[in-house]
Amino acid sequence: MFEHNSINLDLLRQRAFNLRWATVPEGVIPLTAADPDFPCAPQIAEAINSYVSGRYLCYGPPTGLPLFKNAMAQWFREKRSIPADPDLLFPVDSAASGIYITCRAFLQPGDEAIIFDPVDFLFRYSVEAVGAAAVPFAIPQGEPSVDFDGLEKLITAKTRMLCICNPLNPTGKVFTKAELKQFAAIAHKHDLVILSDEIWSDIVYAPHTYTSIASLDEETHKRTITVTGFSKSYGLAGLRIGTLEAGTKAYFDRLLDASLHTSTIHGANTIGQVAAATALTQCQDWLQQFVAHLTRMRDLCVAGLNDLEGVRCKAPEGCYVAFADITGTGRTSKEIADFFMLEKKVAVVPGLRQWFGDGAEGYIRLSFATSEAILGDALSRLKK
Ligand SMILES: Cc1ncc(COP(=O)(O)O)c(C=O)c1O
């Protein structure tokens, strides 16, 4: 399933945008946006075909199709130990949108939200889009412990929200239960809403294990909005489908209100919901094999990067991206990314503020959700 011959490069060159195959010059390998090179599970294609063949593509309910809500609630309960209620979750048109809706619902202009640094740009973008200030909390790659005292020092009278990204894109850190308990304790002490982006939570490498912060206890669930999506685990980015889950009716109502779903101005399309429900109910074996393949690609990628002069890379605990320290090259991350692109024909994401915050300088990020042949080709180009 994850062999090289399952990858259709002709279709990727037509369909994979966002810094990937359809946007790079011929001959360039794009290890850029975290979107797999593999096609989605066949069960998802069959479910979409079967739904569309009915030829009724009507309005869905603003809070989601029952099929989706029930599959999602069951999955949260069984796989994440979150006591989710189908009536307190709804589909959104991507995890990105889920982050933004949560910011709209809980932040006012002038408020502050803590975001990790480095972290995916969506957090800063969403917080600032609603007029609030994003306050970066440094979680450098490879630091053995999280500086919880430092976190508390960042909290002011204006702080409303703590944004958690677990597993953490781009460093690949998977937070332990003990660490999540400390985040929760700080949120309780300062009465903060917790936004927990768990889109990467399926992609965790043994011996690391995943804990959702909302599963810790009832109090924590009540103040947490769990965001997840289907772009990373199932390769459904183009369907723009994700989920928001709340621990209370009051929080759910605020989210739904901020989403504008009831007005039909926004909403999650029904095909995406069918695909997502199928992913959760029929594609767990596919996912397991995907993670097994990714484990091998991670090891190959990390070994290949550590083989390059001036580059050091720690194995990510989760996510399918390698975040490599390039400070030993004496160049900036932008210079290295440009050099790789021009001289090696390998596209990577430079550790710029616009992608991951200030804490990413000195790093580049490479996605390894591809075949062994493509990854091997990219690494040998870099080695030369
Ligand atoms: C942490 C994180 N959240 C959200 C997203 C966006 O997901 P979606 O495609 O569902 O908007 C990404 C994509 O890279 C991500 O890394």
pLDDT digits (tens, 9 = 90+) for 10-43: 999 999 999 999 999 999 999 999 999 999 999 9
Q: Is 44 in the pocket of ligand 1 (CB under 6 A)?
A: no
Going from the Cα of 98 to the center of ligand 1, the distance in angstroms, rounded, reads 10
Shared domain check, 310 and 236: no
Domain shared by 201 and 317, yes or no:
no
Q: Cα–chain-centroid distance for residue 240?
A: 13
3-state secondary structure of 99: helix
Nearest CA to ligand 1 atom 11: 96
Token pair 């053995």 in the structure block, residue:
144
Domain identity same for 158 and 66: yes
Ligand 1 pocket, residue 229 CB under 6 Å? yes
> How far is Cα 247 from Cα 266, in angstroms, rounded to an integer?
23
Does the structure show a pLDDT above 90 at 263?
yes
| Per-residue confidence (pLDDT) for residue 384, from 0 to 100 | 86
Residue 170 and residue 23 in one domain: no
Residue 343 banded pLDDT, cuts 50, 70, 90: very high
140 preceded by cis ω (within 30°)?
A: no
Task: Give the atom of ligand 1 at the shortest distance from the alpha carbon of 34.
Answer: 14
pLDDT of residue 259: 98
User: Based on the domain organization, do 259 and 335 belong to the same domain?
Assistant: no
For residue 109, cis peptide bond before it (omega within 30 degrees of 0): no
Taking 90 as the threshold, does the pLDDT of residue 353 lie above it?
Answer: yes
CA 174 vs CA 66, 168, 171: distances in Å: 32, 7, 9
Structure confidence by residue, pLDDT tens digits, 282-298: 999 999 999 999 999 99
Which tens digit of pLDDT belongs to each residue from 148-162? 999 999 999 999 999
pLDDT of residue 39: 98
49-77 residue pLDDT tens: 999 999 999 999 999 999 999 999 999 99
User: Which of these three, 281, 316, 340, is where a domain ends?
Assistant: 281
Choosing from 256, 281, 306, the residue where a domain stops is 281
Mutate to test the pocket of ligand 1, among 122, 197, 243, 321 (most ligand atoms within 8 A of CB): 122
Residue 340 lies in a domain: yes
Domain boundary among 232, 257, 281: 281
Measured in Å, residue 96 CA sits from the centre of ligand 1 at 6
Residue 299: how many CB atoms within 10 A of its CB? Answer: 13
Please tell me whether residues 9 and 154 are part of one structural domain: no
Q: In the predicted model, what is the mean pLDDT of residues 240-263?
A: 98
Which CATH number does the domain housing residue 214 bear? 3.40.640.10
Range of the domain at 306: 4-40+284-383
Q: What is the pLDDT of residues 98-128, one digit of tens each?
A: 999 999 999 999 999 999 999 999 999 999 9
Collapsing DSSP to helix, strand or coil, 121 comes out as coil
CATH code for the domain of 347: 3.90.1150.10
**Residues 41, 301, 209: CA angle, nearest 5 degrees:** 65
Domain count, the chain: 2
pLDDT digits (tens, 9 = 90+) for 158-213: 999 999 999 999 999 999 999 999 999 999 999 999 999 999 999 999 999 999 99
Which ligand 1 atom is nearest residue 95's CA?
10
- In the sheet that holds 242-246, the strands lie side by side as 89-92, 242-246, 224-229, 193-197, 159-165, 112-117, 133-138
Q: Give the model's pLDDT for residue 377.
A: 98
Decide: 244 and 212 in contact? Cβ < 8 Å: no
pTM, two decimal places:
0.98
Say if residue 142's pLDDT is above 90. no
Q: 199 CA to middle of ligand 1, Å? A: 6
258 and 291 share one domain:
no
**Alpha helix stretches (DSSP H) within 192-269:** 218-222, 231-234, 249-259
Closest CA to 92 of 272, 236, 246: 272
CB under 8 Å, gap of 24 or more: what pairs does 286-291 form?
286/1, 286/41, 286/43, 287/41, 287/202, 287/233, 287/234, 289/1, 289/2, 290/1, 290/2, 290/36, 290/38, 290/233, 291/202, 291/203, 291/204, 291/205
Q: What is the DSSP letter of 344?
A: I
Share of the chain above pLDDT 70, in %: 100
- The stretches of 204-348 forming alpha helices (DSSP H) are 218-222, 231-234, 249-259, 270-282, 284-306, 333-339
CA nearest ligand 1 atom 7, residue: 95
Instruction: Identify whether residues 70 and 124 lie together within a single domain.
Output: yes
Question: Could you tell me if residue 45 is inside a domain?
Answer: no
- Tell me which DSSP letter residue 263 carries: G
For a ligand 1 pocket test, name from 17, 123, 169, 203 the mutation site with the most ligand atoms within 8 angstroms of its C-beta. Answer: 169
Do 159 and 134 contact (CB within 8 A), yes or no? no
Task: Mark whether 276 and 288 lie in a shared domain.
Answer: no
Rounded to 5 degrees, φ, ψ at 37 are -80, -10
Q: Which helix (H) or strand (E) holds 317?
A: none
Q: Over the chain, what is the mean pLDDT?
A: 98
Dist CA 106 CA 382 (whole Å): 45
Q: Is the CB of 171 under 6 A from ligand 1?
A: no
* Region 224-230 average pLDDT: 98
pLDDT at 254: 98
Claim to verify: residue 161 and residue 125 sit in the same structural domain: yes
Rounded CA separation 87/14 (Å): 39
Q: Is residue 165 part of a domain?
A: yes
